[in-house]
Structure 1
């Protein structure tokens, strides 16, 4: 509902307009009246109305002086003046000040109603135009931010679109979400830009202050409330490094989704796999996933879809041969992820020679089914044989190194397994993910140290968290209270 005020030194005018017009019919609330200029300005500053009706002649400051101060303070305000028959010079001055209409006295109810309708129509039009301008500006900023993520952006152009806040920029962090949800409200020290890039749902957080503790606590609570998986990249102070945070966020989200959890995982907790291939098709990634998880039924469903795609594209036999062979070798890489050498399992296995003996695509596809079935069975058998030993070694390594910033990648290298494969085995064996296991271990150690009277910042360092803010957030999430409160209870 919009707000209006009336300023006039004639009591009968004020009361007549207040009582004889149904303001609610126009979705307007009459929030105040005044009989002199000083009182009029006080009422305006208190209520900030969109519509002002004022007489030109009033005691104290006259209507023109009141209008001048109002428009200087709030130029979007719609001012309508009441004028007498011989006050045309005043009216001309009022129009120069930006008054949108004037009504010649004596004022009638129909005159006010007509002025109201015209003014509301004008306000609505301005709001629509401004909304379109804001939308276009917002759309341009989102596009330019995406270009920065893809390393194709123009920093100067982005800063122009971002506005004055660009001068205050202290850092930028990218979050990747498992599904689209409305972003949370955020405090003045930060701005969020929402980006949808194909299947990617991204929040780019711009930090305008150095201390971001409160915002992370707020975002973590929000992600739990809306039930969305989150992968976050590291925070970079250089705007042009936002693309690094973007790729890290995608990497962290892939891990979260692989573990089938609606959790928030940071890139810092996972680490980067230098051998991780990023150029595989969705079909190839799915084949690897189903071999890792030992899901034979889903694997063959994926192969069926892939073969149908080959048929639709009418690929050259050489291309089909190359793609089929690639899938077999990807399968062998999965076997290597277990820490086992495929050459020991199949000493004389040479798929690149075997496939040369096949003549038709049907023979190739049948051969592919057989090879991947052999590989998935070997992967399952190896996993069941070595799983307990591998996870035992991983847990021992974690317990010996939890006091520093140990990552999943480092643990997997110690065990001699692929990081993603180790994640899967760890959850099968321990009933929880590597991240949860490490965090729970650290929280239990933190409780012991706090109970001994150690300082919270010291405990944060001793259990492997160099960021006090992150430690405090995790402690509250797992224990239910802040570490300082826990210490006071002991």
Structure 2
């Protein structure tokens, strides 16, 4: 309902306005009346009416002086002058003060109605634009973390060359300082055999939450990024003034704490490789390569109860060349395409990698065979995550013989393309695969967009499956309904945010997708057995 205030020193005018303004028709109400400019100023600043109807010549403070004071106080409502003075100077000053209309006494009911209707029309248009801007900003706030996640993924994999203009924005987002990448891998044990894709995502999500809490305790910046085959990298940021020995100690403390917490709370084993420290943000992708090399080589650390595999720089040519190739980005591209059975995209990624290898004159047959073996391992883990095993279709002995025969980049290219074609031919047909891909897409979407208004109908349109059928597919694949899974993911994130202790309960509620705080509190208590405020106290 629109609020209108009337300021005039004539009691008859005030009384007349109350009676002739079609309040109901305009969906308006009287915000108050005043008999002079000083009283009008106080009334308007207190009530903040949408529209002010005011005289000019009044005692104590005239109408134009009152309007000038209102503008100084940033009052942005509509102002209509209703005066018996049609002086040009008054009108000119009124225009300078952005008055919306100027009426001379007396005025007809229809004219007043038209003027007020015009003012309300402007208000409605402005409110609509404000709502659109607010909605746009809300969506930007929701999508900002997702966009930042993709940016960080590009940084750690070296997938994007940021220019001089972009780097300051990226630095401001992740923070300046010193950086080290941790490569994290969940060890596949007998307990995890047969685990569904959604549960793998939930385990990785839980590990990321624990990492965030550890980072807060140790005052480290931690950005988690999921890569191919269930592998995860964590970008660790240390304050710029931290001594190198302290950075190393904190990185080890973080990694060992994460390993212990995963075993204690999730009952899973994880392995962590740590790359070297980098002071230049553009070298972060090198730390990623080093972290995976450490995870692959697993240098022995017999004196440690909880081993963390730290990259050890070697002088031999192979390690230097492998580091310079920055293979993680290419592996990620191949796996990403293969997970969706997009043979053409996977083949393009292989062609790019093969071209890179062909341009490396110091590459040896042993290096090529190692790269091919890593590509095949990544393919196996990627397909395992979609419900397919390659060992039965492609016996390990036969693959080993094929790998041993690769001595040239062209041979690597032909072998990789043939393998991708064979995998896509075998597993890329039928509704079962399509359904598994749809569920995997839904699970990833929930983990990336949990703060948004998630609706099964919207996802059904994205995967081209009817809503009801998709609901059944998701329940059969995960053992729970879509809404229950969304709630579970949101509650896990809420627990992590509350544990950090930096946000109020209502802020956590909004960040995990609930505008209704009491409803969020009820769900949280049902999920954890404690209210959010009680959870914070523990």
TM-score (norm 2): 0.38
Which protein shows a greater Rg? Answer: 1
TM-score (norm 1): 0.41
**Which has the higher relative contact order, 1 or 2, with Cα contacts under 8 A spaced 6 or more apart?**
2
